[in-house]
Amino acid sequence: MIALHQRANNYARFLPAINGNFAHFTRKPASAHKRPLPAGLTAHQLDFLDPAGLFHYPWALYTAAEGVYDTKPTMVSHRDPSTSFLLGDSGGFSVISGAVKEALQTFRERSLKWIETNCNVGLPVDVPTRAIDAQSNVWTFRKCLDATLDNTDYAIANARAGTRLLAVYQGRNHQEARAWAAEMKTRRMWGIALGGHTRLDFWFWCKAIKKLIDDGHLDHIRHIHVLGTTEPGVAVLLTALKRALHGYLKRDDLEVTFDSSRAYRIAQAYGQVTLGLKLGMTGNSGSDNAFDFRSFSFPQRGAKLDQSIRFPFDSPLGRLCTLGDFMPGSSPAVPAFDSVGSNLLSHHETYMELSAIEQANLLCDMDLSMGSLVPWHVQEGVRAIHHLFETGNISHFDNRKQQLQFYNKGLLSNVLDDFR
């Protein structure tokens, strides 16, 4: 058993955003699977929240849009709260997109109760500003904000004592993000969650968070979460923010987390897996496109590969399996992956993403003055974040705007997903 979390040196925590398919798979009895699992494994051994799993990583995110409707055991409903941490996403966009087939007013009540029962920390149901693009005839910025404020106030008023909730901040640009923050900042909650088009803009949010702390609105917070990102470079910058805030607030109990469904949405839909952390040198620093994931996509149809060979990529699961264990499809007329293989792939991919993110943090901690593998924009971003909170020098920070906005520009150019 490998415990990935034990080596983390005060890093920002990545939360794999488990989907319902995988959450249920890990708790199904052997008789419920269409074929036996390879190497004598049980599905329960793929539950990485369990210390007895094939690898152990006790941090994850799950959405209320699935959790509220779960009627059978999952790795979420049956986890041990003493050995794992779960952040409950509100499922707000699922309501807006039509994936949740009930009114916002009733879903927010059920979402809150699910969070109280199953999660360490949760989000009140928000209406993301992305809904404006999805349903421009229904949603405006003002409607998104008002609905989120109303749902947040409902959650504050109706939550059980001790429930830890994060205020969700949205916005499609700086103007909207400022307007949103101006009204949300008076809600004193366990912490904040950053969403929307600006969520990876470290130039904007580091200054905004510092000002909100200085003005007495966020000086109490214990948790900051960034919604929907898996970039290793972002992980390093969030680690810098976490460490800088520990010093600025003079306490070490503030957690910084971020999540992505890449291991479940992309791996299961397209057979795409991570090979490791992309590295490359330009002069004496990592190249601009380093600190991304190196990826490979398996064929989608059956019978295109030798199924008897060993699985070619290393992980606690991969080293036990053949290619056919993942891809049993034997004819071009059928998919290469079945339901068992897709979930095996998600387990492998989760481990690979966690490993790459950890490596990025470790390489940054090496802090080599010559020959660093860390991209220059990441190095400068890390230094700028620490300098801002240590000195308050805004002009120095503003001079690093291009480096601090590197990943947000990539996010916007990639249609708000960061699965590059």
pLDDT tier at 96 (50, 70, 90 boundaries)?
confident
Q: Which is more confident, 3 or 330?
A: 330
Residue 1: per-residue pLDDT? 47
pLDDT tier at 2 (50, 70, 90 boundaries)?
low
* Start-end of H helices in 119-192: 130-134, 141-158, 174-184
Q: Report how far apart, in Å, the C-alpha atoms of 72 and of each of 23, 66, 69, 118, 265 are.
A: 10, 12, 9, 14, 21
Q: Which is more confident, 134 or 64?
A: 64
CB burial readout 357-372, b (16+ within 10 A) else e: bbbbbebbeeeeeeeb
Residue owning tokens 């470079």: 233
Segment 214-263, tens digit of pLDDT: 999 999 999 999 999 999 999 999 999 999 999 999 999 999 999 999 99
Residue 368: per-residue pLDDT? 66
CA angle 352, 362, 369 (to 5 degrees): 135
* C-alpha 298: how far from chain center: 24
Helix, strand or coil for residue 274? Answer: strand
- Rounded to whole angstroms, the maximal C-alpha distance in the chain is 64
Mean pLDDT of 108-129: 96
Segment 151-162, tens digit of pLDDT: 999 999 999 999
Residue 419: per-residue pLDDT? 38
**For the chain, what's the residue count?**
420
pLDDT over 50 at 420, yes or no = no
Residue 3: per-residue pLDDT? 55
φ, ψ of residue 314 in degrees (nearest 5): -85, 135
Residue 253: per-residue pLDDT? 95
Q: Enter the pTM of the model.
A: 0.96
pLDDT over 50 at 25, yes or no = yes
Q: Which is more confident, 410 or 385?
A: 385
pLDDT over 80 at 370, yes or no = no
Residue owning tokens 């700028």: 384
Mean pLDDT of 313-333: 96
Mean pLDDT of 350-378: 90
Task: Indicate the average pLDDT of the chain.
Answer: 93
Share of the chain above pLDDT 70, in %: 96
Residue 327: per-residue pLDDT? 97
The Cα 119–Cα 117 span in angstroms is 6
Give the pair of three-digit tokens for residue 100.
């949740």
Closest CA to 112 of 135, 207, 104: 104
Q: In what order do the strands lie in the sheet with 255-260?
A: 13-16, 255-260, 223-226, 191-194, 166-169
Segment 273-316, tens digit of pLDDT: 999 999 999 888 999 999 999 999 999 999 888 999 999 999 99
